[in-house]
Amino acid sequence: GRNAPPRFSVAVFEGDGIGPEIMAPTVDLLSEVAAASGAFGLDFTSVPAGAGHYRDYGVSLPEESMEIARKSDAILLSAMGLPEVRYPDGTEISPQIELRMELGLFAGVRPVLIHPGQGSPLKVAEKKGFDFVIIRESTEGLFASHGKGRVNGDQSAEETLVITREVSEKLFEFAFNLARRRKETGKGPGKVHCVDKANVFQAFAFFRKIFHEVAERHTDIEAQTAYVDATALWMVQRPEMFDVMVTENMFGDILSDLGAGIMGSLGLAPSADIGLDSAVFQPCHGSAPDIAGKGLANPLAMILSASMMLEWLGHEHGVAEMLDASERVTAAVNDVIGEGRIMTPDLGGSANTEAVAGAVLEAFNRRL
């Protein structure tokens, strides 16, 4: 007889601000997508964490939530943090960073793309379009210093940047494998740029040295290096030159926001944080407290993050139908953007969150 379709457990962090508003329709959509496919099942478990939880219970990431996250096949996260809620040292509540560290999610994946003809603040790019991926190392670099920085007698302050061979090797392996998959699926030419500041810092010279070592094992993929300052310039002047870009944590943090900027809207930028056996999928934007509770939040970045989750699960577990489902969800989002009828205010429309998510489901069903 036939085996029952595989089921995957998904831990759901609704978070703060607009988090619950964009998560609810995304989970509904995923349930519909799984039901329509019939080839896989998804079991969602909602877990508390975030700034609101810290304010109410004194802990931002409860151990029970961490346990569920650790055991689940994938993790969906909307956004966490509230401007008025802070740790005693004044830093923002950021369980995302703890999750990354605890689960060893070393590769932060940020797709940066627009289709030719689609609007972008870059006039040059609008004609040709662009499609690349930034891989931000997410567990060390300058963020290794998170919570360990020092202020010395109100006179100086220090943070430490850490690059390890172990994490860098995994990171570059991931980058070359992603470039190969993009090449095989026609999304890119098969090229990886290592982005650093190797001309000034020993830590980055070391980073680059390991990059070249790993590149030797992937001679089918073109290996390039670039300084981060030049990269910022080229992302604006000729973004079409990039395929896969791999960089240190802090540089990746900044370049991903630049990436969101040239895409035109933070409301459209998804991300994935991937480790050896866990992964978190979340939009690049924050909890947008200024528009929370008004039904104005754009759910598309959250939905695109969910699509990345389907792709990752499908790839990891060899379920081709999940790859198809992922492609269809992304195509449905593009249909809705392309039609331009049902959009939230950040994209110039007047529809609410629910209407946009509903339009995606409708477009998805049209593509079945």
DSSP state of 216: T
Closest separation in Å from C-beta 56 to ligand ATP: 19
Closest separation in Å from C-beta 120 to ligand ATP: 17
Q: Which is nearer to Mg ion, 91 or 350 (CB)?
A: 91
Q: Please identify, among the stretches 64-72, 210-218, 285-293, 334-342, the one whose residues bind ligand ATP according to the rule CB under 6 A.
A: 285-293
Enumerate residues 317-346 that contact ligand ATP by CB under 6 A.
Answer: 344, 346
- Pair 83, 94: CB distance under 8 Å: no
Q: Which residues of 207-245 are buried (b: 16+ CB within 10 A; e: fewer)?
A: bbebbeebbeebeebbbbebbbeebbeebeeebeebbbb
Choose the contact partner of 288 out of ligand ATP, Mg ion, none; CB within 5 to 8 A by kind: ligand ATP
In degrees to the nearest 10, what's the CA dihedral of 34, 37, 40, 45?
A: 0
Q: Which is nearer to ligand ATP, 330 or 344 (CB)?
A: 344
Exactly one of 256, 271, 287, 307 binds ligand ATP (CB under 6 A); that residue is 287
In degrees to the nearest 10, what's the CA dihedral of 250, 251, 253, 254?
A: 120
Choose the contact partner of 355 out of ligand ATP, Mg ion, none; CB within 5 to 8 A by kind: none
x/- letters, 266..295, toward Mg ion (CB under 5 A): --------------------x---------
Q: Does 81 bind ligand ATP (CB under 6 A)?
A: yes
In degrees to the nearest 10, what's the CA dihedral of 261, 264, 268, 269?
A: -20
x/- letters, 16..35, toward ligand ATP (CB under 6 A): --x-----------------
Q: Closest Cα partner for 48 from 73, 22, 78? A: 78
Main-chain dihedrals φ then ψ at residue 103, nearest 5 degrees: -95, 0
Secondary structure of residue 241 in the 3-state scheme = helix
E runs forming strands in the chain: 7-13, 41-46, 74-77, 107-114, 130-137, 150-152, 156-158, 191-196, 222-227, 244-247, 270-274, 279-283
Q: Does 175 bind ligand ATP (CB under 6 A)?
A: no
Q: Which is nearer to ligand ATP, 96 or 164 (CB)?
A: 96
Closest separation in Å from C-beta 350 to ligand ATP: 13
Q: Does 101 bind ligand ATP (CB under 6 A)?
A: no
Q: Which is nearer to ligand ATP, 18 or 214 (CB)?
A: 18
Q: Give dist(CA 201, CA 315) in Å, integer.
A: 37
Closest separation in Å from C-beta 286 to ligand ATP: 2
Cα angle 54, 58, 62; round to 5:
75
DSSP state of 155: T
Exactly one of 32, 43, 166, 290 binds ligand ATP (CB under 6 A); that residue is 290
Exactly one of 53, 100, 285, 328 binds ligand ATP (CB under 6 A); that residue is 285
Closest separation in Å from C-beta 286 to Mg ion: 5
Enumerate residues 102-131 that contact ligand ATP by CB under 6 A.
Answer: none
- For residue 187, give Cα distances in angstroms to 10, 191, 228: 28, 11, 24
Choose the contact partner of 246 out of Mg ion, ligand ATP, none; CB within 5 to 8 A by kind: none
Q: Closest Cα partner for 87 from 56, 51, 138, 63? A: 51
Closest separation in Å from C-beta 289 to Mg ion: 12
Closest separation in Å from C-beta 290 to ligand ATP: 5
**Rule CB under 5 A: which residues touch Mg ion?**
286
